[in-house]
Amino acid sequence: MNRKLCAPADRARSWESIDWKKAEAYVKKLQMRIVKAQKDGHYSKVKTLQWLLTHSFYAKALAVKRVTSNKGKNTAGVDHELWKTPKGKFEAIDKLKRRGYKPQPLRRVYIPKKNGKLRPLNIPTMTDRAMQTLYKFALEPLAETLADPNSYGFRIGRSTHDAIGQCFNDLCRAGSPQWILEGDIKGCFDHISHSWLMKNIPMDKEMLEKWLKCGFVETRKIFPTEEGTPQGGTISPVLMNMTLDGLERILKERFPMRRTVAGKTIYDQINFVRYADDFIVTGKSPETLRNEVMPLIKDFLAERGLQLSEEKTVITHISDGFDFLGQNIRKYNGKLLIKPSKNAVKAFLKKVRTIVKENKTATQDLLIRKLNPVIRGWVNYHRYVVSADIFGLVDHRIFECLWKWACRRHKRKGRKWIANKYWHHIDNRTWTFAAEPAFRGKDFDEKYLKLEYAANTKIIRFKKITAEANPFDKKWTGYYEERDGERMLNSTKGREKLVKIWNNQKRCCPVCGERITSETGFKTHFITENNRKWPAIMVHPWCHRNLHEPDYLI
């Protein structure tokens, strides 16, 4: 066996001594070889490379790092075990062995849905999460290679904005289809057929069966799992995507760009866009969608143990508009406009009002610190569509809410006094909700801490990803690097110095060595040494916490 492909001979002796850049490069190289072997039709080589990847030290170390640096790192499974110390994480690497591995039952909890119902969430143990992540490294290259071109959910480098961009491309022209089938799969994660997964997922079948049949614990009782993939497992999104992949190809084969029926040429204008288990299908007429497309989709899903949700699957005309991924897509007098949906605006304002009501006695600067991340996140999500008017409306509603908050605190004061205390003339805005901060970070030099205003955000056009792009294919490497740069520019608009720092660091975090992207997010950190303040560096948010909080360990 080629020694270059095996675990490194000079293996790290501690968590801190692991070379993460080398680990990332090693895993990425094997993943790219898996894609090349798959495209060349060398399927036995694909299995060999998958085995090498799932047994390598670097892949195991990265799997442990992923599950100990994400949002669920403080959520334990049924064994109540967490990996918080460097020693615990390093010892966890040796636990990731296929021989003798037996997953423990999932811990079931329930989280509320928007419609008031509860969604079951299954939480694996840390060991099971790391094992799933390890095998996800080997499965994901194949999932990307075999995926539908216009599938955008749970995929590297793809987002809801890409799905919305594809909707615009399919519907914006004068001759575009006018009818849309809005599809929703009922309990997608919970009802996928185990037998179908065992027959069609190209991975270690023994490991897959163990995860599918491990059961779950609820009210101190163990229940078997006869269908579905665990919603909460790290490999589940990949399994779900692979289950639904192929639907677009079948639709294209059944409804080509042009077909002849009874001597007549028919243009069905069938287009397909999917994000996770939500999808739309466009068509020239409602009859085609109802009588031909829907039966085809139902048969496709039934083979996989799934079915459409009757209450959420509807056929809509483009002039009436439809909501998809938080946006409303509609034609006004023949012109397609995409705006934030009414439900999205309503939910956002409800969240803002809740924060304000829960902080009736809080200081102004604390309230601003709580509101700014919420406002900034919502605005950045909707900045790529026609949202200028909505942003102005949102600012007005937030102002009304904050005015009531201020008046409630000073019932005996006049309006002018209240306005002068809480609102200031800053830059071009006369009414700026701002306060002098109670504490200042090293990178905060301004006099006032200001509230984020949606109307200050510039509306820009999102550049949709190329449908055929594959992050594990060598020929697309340059494309993804260029795209990451453009997305970072958009997320740091008006802060060109940050982009320069990012490029000087070779787009990597100096603390952990992994890449900084718009998806990972970033923080600026100033180094102070001998009372001298050095230029800022860009680091991941979790690395930034590690630098400022000695007790917080990566």
DSSP 96-155: --STT--PPPEEEEEEE-TTS-EEEEEE--HHHHHHHHHHHHHHHHHHHHHS-TTB-TT-
Give Rg (Cα) of the chain: 26
Burial 263-285 (b: 16+ CB within 10 A, else e): eeeeebbbbbbbbbbbbbbbbbb
pLDDT band at 230 (very low <50, low <70, confident <90, very high): confident
Mean pLDDT over residues 283-296, rounded?
Answer: 94
- Taking phi over 0 as left and psi of -120 to 50 as alpha, with beta for the rest, 287 belongs to alpha
Where helices occur in 147-289 by DSSP H, the ranges are 160-171, 188-191, 194-200, 205-212, 236-244, 247-254, 286-288
Q: Is the pLDDT of residue 348 over 90?
A: yes
DSSP letter (8 states) at residue 15: S
Return the SS3 of 542.
helix
The tokens describing 277, both together, are 């288990």
Residue 482 CB neighbours (<10 A)? 10
- 334, amino acid identity: G
Mean pLDDT over residues 520-547, rounded?
Answer: 69
- Taking phi over 0 as left and psi of -120 to 50 as alpha, with beta for the rest, 68 belongs to alpha
Q: Which of 18, 11, 21 is nearest to 510 (CA)?
A: 21
pLDDT band at 553 (very low <50, low <70, confident <90, very high): very low
Q: Is the pLDDT of residue 551 over 60?
A: no
pTM to 2 decimal places: 0.87
Return the SS3 of 198.
helix
| Percent with pLDDT over 70 in the chain | 90
Stated as kind and residue range, the H or E segment containing 270 is none
Q: Which of 72, 189, 61, 84 is nearest to 125 (CA)?
A: 72
Q: Is the pLDDT of residue 7 over 60?
A: no
| Percent with pLDDT over 90 in the chain | 67
Spatial separation of the C-alpha atoms in residues 380 and 456, rounded to whole Å: 11
Q: Which of 245, 19, 297, 1 is nearest to 139 (CA)?
A: 245
DSSP letter (8 states) at residue 291: I
| DSSP notation for 142-182 | HHHHHS-TTB-TT-TT--HHHHHHHHHHHHSSTTS--EEEE
- pLDDT given for residue 550 in this prediction: 47
pLDDT band at 541 (very low <50, low <70, confident <90, very high): confident
List all residues 6 or more positions away from 343 whose beta carbon is below 8 Å from its beta carbon. 323, 326
Spatial separation of the C-alpha atoms in residues 224 and 531, rounded to whole Å: 61
Q: Which of 102, 67, 63, 71 is nearest to 81 (CA)?
A: 67
Spatial separation of the C-alpha atoms in residues 82 and 89, rounded to whole Å: 9
Spatial separation of the C-alpha atoms in residues 23 and 53, rounded to whole Å: 11
Spatial separation of the C-alpha atoms in residues 85 and 554, rounded to whole Å: 8
Stated as kind and residue range, the H or E segment containing 18 is none
The tokens describing 467, both together, are 């449908």
Spatial separation of the C-alpha atoms in residues 498 and 448, rounded to whole Å: 22
Burial 39-59 (b: 16+ CB within 10 A, else e): eeeeeeebbbbbebbbbbbbb
Q: Is the pLDDT of residue 1 over 50?
A: no
- 202, amino acid identity: P
Higher pLDDT, 445 or 273: 273
Summarize the chain as % helix, strand, coil (round to 5).
Answer: 45, 15, 40
- pLDDT given for residue 10 in this prediction: 56
* pLDDT tens-digit series, residues 386-421: 999 999 999 999 999 999 999 999 999 999 999 999
pLDDT band at 499 (very low <50, low <70, confident <90, very high): confident
The winner for highest mean pLDDT among 57-66, 115-124, 228-237 is 57-66
- pLDDT given for residue 530 in this prediction: 46
Q: Is the pLDDT of residue 377 over 60?
A: yes
DSSP letter (8 states) at residue 467: T
Could you tell me if 140 and 112 are in contact, meaning their C-beta atoms sit under 8 angstroms apart? no
- pLDDT given for residue 531 in this prediction: 47
The tokens describing 358, both together, are 């829960």
- pLDDT given for residue 440 in this prediction: 57
- pLDDT given for residue 264 in this prediction: 61
Could you tell me if 233 and 129 are in contact, meaning their C-beta atoms sit under 8 angstroms apart? yes
CA dihedral 477, 480, 484, 486 (to 10 degrees): 120
Could you tell me if 394 and 454 are in contact, meaning their C-beta atoms sit under 8 angstroms apart? yes
Spatial separation of the C-alpha atoms in residues 137 and 238, rounded to whole Å: 10
List all residues 6 or more positions away from 99 whose beta carbon is below 8 Å from its beta carbon. none
Spatial separation of the C-alpha atoms in residues 45 and 52, rounded to whole Å: 11
Higher pLDDT, 261 or 481: 481
Q: How far is CA 20 from CA 62, 65, 96, 104, 521, in A?
A: 8, 10, 18, 29, 18
- pLDDT given for residue 197 in this prediction: 96
Could you tell me if 27 and 137 are in contact, meaning their C-beta atoms sit under 8 angstroms apart? yes
